[in-house]
Amino acid sequence: MEQGNKNTRSTRRILDHINSPADLKGLELADLEILARQIRDLIIETVSQNGGHLAPCLGVVELSIALHYVFDAPRDKIIWDVGHQAYAHKIITGRRDKFHTLRKYKGISGFPRREESPYDSFNTGHSGTSISAGLGITTARSIKGNRHKVIAVIGDGSMTAGMAFEALNQTGHTERDLIVILNDNEMSIAKNVGALSSYISRKIYEPRFVSLKKNLENFFRSIPGVGENIFAVLKKSEDSLIGLLTPGMLFEALKFRYIGPIKGHDLNLLIKTFKDVAQLKGPVLVHVLTTKGKGYEPAEKNPTYFHGIGSFDIATGLTTQKSANEPPSYTEVFGRTMVELGAKEKRLFAITAAMPEGTGLTEFARVYPDRFIDVGIAEQHAVTFAAGLATEGFKPVVAIYSTFLQRAFDQIIHDVCLPDLPVIFALDRSGIVGDDGRTHQGTFDLSYLRIIPNMTVMAPKDENELRHMLFTALAFHGPIAIRYPRGNGVGIPLDKEYKKIPIGEVEELTHGKDLLILALGSRVHPSLEAATELEKEGYSVSVVNCRFVKPLDPRISEMAANTGRVLIVEENTLHGGLGSAILELFSDQGLPNLIIKRLGIPDKFIEHGPQSLLREKYRVGRKEIVAEARKLCNYHDPGKEKA
């Protein structure tokens, strides 16, 4: 196995000369193999410092080289599903010199972006879109009379997404020229799940299939008189015999020509296969077997851990970011609370859409295997599945990142809220998530959940309140969502006893007469700190932990009338979030003459960068809250300005 950082100076030069895919075309196979090692080293080196999706990218180095060697991008369109595995593609397509800026603020994105390069033919980040996009591009190509190739590269995990099947179904029907590369490493982030997964991972050269094939051959040969003839016919149609034993049948039924499975680290084989495939008409699926984490031992051994990782030490594979005294993350506290509540409430059921680790549910899955399910990358199904459980008296908790729950908007409306079912939504990574950027920011959930009848939406100010909110949700009789941020809690001790939070009630944390700060979730503690700072300047500020965006506490209006000045702070788009809800309340209650300022995320997609930097940039950090609060305090009495 190759380890990172073993380049000699002479071999290093090959990568240094790759400025576009054209530079690959003249290379010999042996050079391409050296190049693969150099690309791996660069990926390992960079991700060890910047963090990123290591294991998925290491698994597709040869695949990326072979695709760019055979096809003619950017004329030919290569679409990377999810796009978390596109680092080698980025390095090959002119971004080698910028690669050290990967995922850094103003640096290159961790995902394909059309704005970043003409080689990134489709923006991805959420799973399962590549075949649909590919079919769209193929259809446009036909109408425009162009002849370029369209290639969708999709992992076996992403193939569990419903969208992928919708697209396969239509592609087969239209019989358009589309090449789908199924990158099968038997992993999603965790081990891949589902009937399809076990079906496609049936490998023709697995011992049981080899022996099954042998037995069939022996059986036919042993039939006296006709056996040899039957065997000869079978031999001729070996393809169809193999088709019976491999995943080919499934894709052939969908009118795809199935090729594979082929070994995905054999550059020679990949290149030969892609050259053949490039000549074929109609939909083709090439089944490529790869090893996630290939070429870096720690990642091969633990691909789940190295799927997406922060900075780490290359020699040991140990992460270098976390210090021992850090408070636990919201995810950890959620996971721990689920395990505790699972013991008290036997109807509690946990659902993840391919993110058992990311959502903190691995321990729950271990302790209560009968009350846990990983549905695969199928957020829509997860929600309706939960609705089904709820109709039978269960208490399902659907734990999905804020950004991915967007997928299930209609299921939340139609299957959960309309029949008013007690489904609990746990939205991790709400607000600004940081380095993953535009496709992953969780800045819309308050808006998209708040508008749905019967829905209750809450956000804890700290990790301790998260526990109480989960407890509260469990006793609640309708749809209810808890949104909490990415990262560590604030370091508050965790109560042993659970308590119910009265639905729709705010919590007044400080009482003052100059200004009312209405804050939600992750913005409550920075607002408290701001109030303390302003107190030193002679102002008295009320800080209210809103806790609920829906229903809103009508007492907010009284509180606002008392100070006359209101600052609303949230980590959600200003369109339709907490601030909008409060303005609606004020308007409905006929509250005139208030001075109101809203802090929140503007109407745009937020780029990648450190959470703290982005919070500062978009004016929801502590310093910006202080500045706005001071301005408001001074509004009527500029003479009082002391800053």
Ligand X SMILES: Cc1ncc(C[n+]2csc(CCOP(=O)(O)OP(=O)(O)O)c2C)c(N)n1
- Is residue 185 at the binding interface for ligand X, with CB under 6 A as the rule? yes
The Cα 631–Cα 636 span in angstroms is 10
CB of 192 to ligand X, least distance (A): 6
- Is residue 425 at the binding interface for ligand X, with CB under 6 A as the rule? no
- Can you spell out the DSSP letters for 496-540? SS--PPPTT--EEEE--SSEEEEE-GGGHHHHHHHHHHHHHTT--
The Cα 11–Cα 14 span in angstroms is 6
**Cβ distance to ligand X smaller for residue 401 or 548:** 401
Q: Are 332 and 362 in contact (CB under 8 A)?
A: no
Q: Which of 4, 155, 260, 437 binds ligand X (CB under 6 A)?
A: 155
Q: Which of 34, 108, 180, 189 binds ligand X (CB under 6 A)?
A: 189
Name the percent of the chain in helix, strand, coil, to the closest 5: 45, 15, 40
**Cβ distance to ligand X smaller for residue 379 or 415:** 379
- Using DSSP, state whether 217 is helix, strand or coil: helix
- Backbone φ, ψ for residue 307 (5° rounding): -60, -60
Q: Which of 40, 265, 407, 429 binds ligand X (CB under 6 A)?
A: 407
- Is residue 485 at the binding interface for ligand X, with CB under 6 A as the rule? no
**Cβ distance to ligand X smaller for residue 208 or 301:** 301
Prior bond of 502 cis (ω within 30°): no
CB of 629 to ligand X, least distance (A): 37
Nearest position to ligand X, beta carbon: 155
Q: Which of 187, 517, 546, 578 binds ligand X (CB under 6 A)?
A: 187
Which of the following is catalytic: 292, 615, 622, 630?
292
Cα angle 79, 84, 89; round to 5: 55
Instruction: Name every residue whose Cβ is closer than 8 Å to that of residue 426 and which is 6 or more positions away in sequence.
Output: 334, 359, 397, 398, 399, 400, 470, 481, 482, 484
Of 36-44, 179-187, 263-271, 512-520, which segment contacts ligand X by CB under 6 A?
179-187
Of 173-181, 187-195, 209-217, 553-561, which segment contacts ligand X by CB under 6 A?
187-195
- Is residue 117 at the binding interface for ligand X, with CB under 6 A as the rule? no
Q: In the structure encoding, which two tokens stand for residue 84, read together?
A: 């978390």
- Is residue 84 at the binding interface for ligand X, with CB under 6 A as the rule? yes
Name 348's bridge partners. 395
Which of the following is catalytic: 62, 186, 379, 465?
379
CB of 284 to ligand X, least distance (A): 19
Of 149-157, 228-236, 319-327, 365-373, which segment contacts ligand X by CB under 6 A?
149-157
- Fill in the DSSP letter of residue 92: I
Q: Which of 377, 469, 520, 596 binds ligand X (CB under 6 A)?
A: 377
Nearest of 430, 403, 445 to residue 484 by alpha carbon: 430
**Cβ distance to ligand X smaller for residue 117 or 439:** 439
Instruction: Name every residue whose Cβ is closer than 8 Å to that of residue 414 and which is 6 or more positions away in sequence.
Output: none
- Is residue 126 at the binding interface for ligand X, with CB under 6 A as the rule? yes
- Is residue 63 at the binding interface for ligand X, with CB under 6 A as the rule? no
Contacts with ligand X, 327-356, as mask; x by CB under 6 A: --------------------------xxx-
CB of 351 to ligand X, least distance (A): 13
Q: Which of 130, 158, 359, 580 binds ligand X (CB under 6 A)?
A: 158
Q: Which of 4, 52, 110, 157 binds ligand X (CB under 6 A)?
A: 157
CB of 355 to ligand X, least distance (A): 6
Instruction: Name every residue whose Cβ is closer than 8 Å to that of residue 98 and which is 6 or more positions away in sequence.
Output: 107, 108
Prior bond of 261 cis (ω within 30°): yes
Q: Which of 274, 404, 548, 618 binds ligand X (CB under 6 A)?
A: 404
Q: Which of 38, 46, 50, 85 binds ligand X (CB under 6 A)?
A: 85
The Cα 330–Cα 402 span in angstroms is 14
| Helical spans, DSSP H, in 368-428 | 379-391, 402-405, 409-411
CB of 154 to ligand X, least distance (A): 6
**Cβ distance to ligand X smaller for residue 90 or 126:** 126
Contacts with ligand X, 232-261, as mask; x by CB under 6 A: ------------------------------
Instruction: Name every residue whose Cβ is closer than 8 Å to that of residue 490 and which is 6 or more positions away in sequence.
Output: 327, 462, 463, 525
**Cβ distance to ligand X smaller for residue 159 or 596:** 159
Q: Is residue 407 annotated as part of the catalytic site, yes or no?
A: yes
Q: Is residue 292 annotated as part of the catalytic site, yes or no?
A: yes
CB of 180 to ligand X, least distance (A): 13
**Cβ distance to ligand X smaller for residue 188 or 430:** 188
- Is residue 127 at the binding interface for ligand X, with CB under 6 A as the rule? yes
CB of 382 to ligand X, least distance (A): 10
Q: Are 121 and 77 in contact (CB under 8 A)?
A: yes
Name 431's bridge partners. 442
What does the chain come to in residues?
A: 643
| Phi-psi region at 79: left, alpha or beta (left = phi > 0; alpha = psi -120 to 50) | beta
- Is residue 374 at the binding interface for ligand X, with CB under 6 A as the rule? no
The Cα 267–Cα 474 span in angstroms is 53
- Backbone φ, ψ for residue 359 (5° rounding): -95, 0
Positions 280 through 309 that interact with ligand X (CB under 6 A): 292
CB of 434 to ligand X, least distance (A): 15
The Cα 441–Cα 429 span in angstroms is 8
The Cα 147–Cα 141 span in angstroms is 7
Q: Is residue 641 annotated as part of the catalytic site, yes or no?
A: no
Q: How many residues at the interface with ligand X, by CB under 6 A? A: 24
CB of 102 to ligand X, least distance (A): 17
Which of the following is catalytic: 95, 113, 213, 407?
407
Nearest of 461, 384, 380 to residue 164 by alpha carbon: 380
Q: What is the CA radius of gyration of the chain?
A: 28
Q: Which of 56, 335, 422, 437 binds ligand X (CB under 6 A)?
A: 56
Residues near ligand X, by CB under 6 A: 56, 59, 82, 84-85, 126-127, 155-158, 183, 185, 187-189, 292, 353-355, 377, 379, 404, 407
Active-site positions read 292, 379, 407
